[in-house]
């Protein structure tokens, strides 16, 4: 017989998954955009190219991936986008370079690789059994008038709603300004749980969590009060340590070398402002010392870019992922049947003989050609400049209004709370 507590947890997980699916759709619907911006004067996409992304309509798998930015509200219908790939438990030793691919060559199918390198140029590599992320001197001036360094982000291709991840890491933050991180994050809702290494204190690691802080949120509106510092007693950029984040429906626990260093109960934040969105596992290194003023102070900048320090590197030796509700990829094929547009093509297929390896339709003003990988694919490099997506600049009418996001968050929080009570 299944214990009552376990039944309640499973019921809660089902409610949480449903509620988060609703909030992701409602958050995308809470914009003023009335259609796919570059297609037919802003119309919704047609049935034969149903998926809207970057303002264009396409039948390509990558355009139809919700994880890569498919916009349900601007597509042919609300069900056109393929759902987020669900979590599988596994141990990653980084002994095979093929376990990471460029995000620009990722179709959204998690079987292609467990990790993506998210920026161009890619300052990541798998070498000698390590994932290595590099921060190098930048070539462009940012909006704060600084030539900030250009770093790297690596993301899981599957999304986890609760679970435990342990990673053996050597930070890339030996001096002020350089930030290394190990994060669970949903960029759409802004939920996040993290470890961050801040270079001005190389003996310390900081733990933190956020609830509904999307990337375009005004920094003045973000709650930074949940940060906690832990002095480990050694230079963490010189020695590997093992870091764990245990994220459960009712609590968050951070561990270092298997020792608990912090616990937060859901009830500590009234059960509402608690990270509860499916999230990617991410590692990153970035230049905080030459960014906006408040971040610069926190990071201990300005970052040292003297000739003696041409670059900074973060090392991840291994990652052990244990999902709270894992799926078996052998019995749960991608894409799920009857979820999202099923008649897509995949120009990014590594197998040129695949029946899906066809040139995609891309409709809209100045639409690029999206041919097969064998013929060059979609030349995303033309649209990127040090990690900034040049064709995805959003107008004010396309941005999520903060008040709308807040209302949606409250609705979902109420649903989740009911799930715990019932």
Tell which residue, 114, 135, 113, 115, has the closest CA to residue 123: 135
R_g of the chain, CA atoms, integer Å: 21
pLDDT band at 308 (very low <50, low <70, confident <90, very high): low
In angstroms, the CA 12 to CA 20 distance is 12
| pLDDT tens per residue across span 80-128 | 999 999 999 999 999 999 999 999 899 999 999 999 999 988 999 999 9
What mean pLDDT value characterizes the chain? Answer: 84
> What band does 306 get if pLDDT is binned at 50, 70 and 90?
confident
Look at residue 402 in the predicted model and tell me its pLDDT. 34
User: Is the pLDDT score of 160 beyond 70?
Assistant: yes
Q: Collapsing DSSP states into helix, strand and coil, what is residue 154?
A: strand
For 102, 108, 216, 335, 361, the CA distances from 329, given in Å and listed in that order, are: 22, 15, 34, 11, 29
DSSP one-letter string for 368-399: PPB--GGGT---GGGGEETTEETT-PPPGGGS
Collapsing DSSP to helix, strand or coil, 71 comes out as coil
CATH of 90-323, one of 3.10.20.30, 1.20.1250.20, 3.30.1330.40, 2.60.120.200: 2.60.120.200
Q: What is the pLDDT of residue 135?
A: 96
Q: Per-residue pLDDT for 1 more than 80?
A: no
Lookup: tokens for 378: 């979609």
Q: Where are the domains of the chain?
A: 4-84+341-420, 90-323
The pLDDT tens digits for 239-290 are 999 999 999 999 999 999 999 999 999 999 987 899 999 999 999 999 999 8
Pairing of strands 56-58, 51-53: antiparallel
How is 30-41 classified by DSSP, letter by letter?
SSS--S-TTSTT
pLDDT at residue 413 in the model: 43
Cα angle 371, 334, 116; round to 5: 65
Lowest mean pLDDT among 58-67, 92-101, 190-199, 361-370: 361-370
* Cβ-based neighbour number of residue 233 at 10 Å: 8
Share of the chain above pLDDT 70, in %: 80
Provide the 10 A C-beta neighbour count for residue 136: 19
Q: Which residues on neighbouring strands pair with residue 100, listed in sequence order?
A: 115
How many CB atoms are located within 10 Å of the residue 330 CB? 7
pTM, rounded to two decimals = 0.83
Report the pLDDT averaged over residues 316-338: 93
Separation between Cα atoms, residue 43 and residue 49, nearest integer Å: 12
Asked if the model's pLDDT at residue 79 lies above 50, the reply is: yes
309 has a pLDDT exceeding 70: no
Q: How far apart are CA 68 and CA 380, in angstroms?
A: 14
For 254, 281, 282, 342, the CA distances from 244, given in Å and listed in that order, are 6, 12, 13, 38
Contacts of residue 316, defined as CB under 8 A and 6 or more positions apart, other chains included, come to 94, 130, 131, 132, 133, 167, 168, 169, 283
How many helices and strands, by DSSP H and E, does the chain display?
Answer: 3, 21
């Amino acid at each position: 017989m299944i214990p009552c507590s376990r039944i309640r947890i499973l019921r809660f997980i089902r409610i949480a998954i449903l509620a988060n699916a609703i909030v992701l759709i409602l958050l995308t619907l809470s914009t003023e955009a009335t259609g796919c911006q570059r297609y037919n004067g802003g119309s919704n996409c047609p049935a034969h190219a149903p998926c809207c992304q970057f303002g264009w309509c396409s039948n390509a798998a990558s355009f139809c991936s919700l994880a890569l930015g498919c916009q349900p509200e601007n597509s042919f219908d609300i069900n056109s986008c393929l759902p987020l790939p669900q979590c599988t438990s596994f141990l990653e030793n980084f002994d095979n370079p093929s376990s990471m691919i460029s995000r620009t060559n990722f179709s959204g199918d998690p079987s292609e690789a467990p990790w993506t390198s998210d920026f161009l140029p890619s300052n990541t590599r798998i070498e000698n059994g390590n994932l290595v992320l590099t921060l190098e001197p930048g070539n462009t001036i940012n909006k704060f008038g600084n030539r900030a360094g250009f770093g790297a982000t690596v993301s899981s291709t599957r999304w986890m709603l609760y679970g435990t991840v342990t990673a053996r890491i050597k930070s890339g933050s030996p001096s002020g300004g350089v930030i290394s991180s190990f994060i669970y994050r949903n960029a759409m809702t802004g939920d996040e749980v993290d470890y961050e290494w801040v270079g001005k204190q190389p003996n310390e690691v900081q733990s933190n969590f956020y609830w509904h802080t999307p990337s375009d949120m005004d920094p003045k509106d973000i709650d930074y009060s949940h940060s906690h510092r832990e002095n480990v007693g050694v230079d963490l950029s010189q020695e590997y340590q093992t870091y764990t984040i245990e994220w459960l429906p009712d609590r968050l626990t951070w561990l270092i070398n298997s020792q608990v260093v912090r616990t937060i109960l859901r009830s500590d934040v009234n059960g509402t402002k608690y990270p509860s969105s499916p999230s990617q596992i991410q590692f990153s290194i970035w230049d905080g010392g030459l960014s906006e003023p408040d971040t610069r102070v926190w990071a201990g900048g300005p970052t040292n870019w003297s000739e003696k320090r041409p670059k900074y590197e973060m090392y991840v030796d291994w990652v052990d992922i244990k999902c709270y509700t894992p799926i078996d990829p052998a019995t749960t094929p991608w894409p799920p049947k009857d979820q999202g547009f099923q008649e897509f093509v995949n120009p990014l297929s590594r197998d040129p003989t695949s029946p899906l390896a066809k040139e995609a339709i891309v409709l809209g003003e100045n639409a690029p050609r999206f041919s097969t990988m064998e013929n060059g694919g979609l030349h995303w490099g033309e649209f990127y400049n040090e990690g900034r997506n040049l064709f995805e600049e959003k107008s004010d009418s396309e941005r999520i209004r903060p008040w709308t996001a807040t209302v949606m968050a409250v609705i979902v929080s109420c649903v989740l709370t009911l799930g715990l009570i019932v």
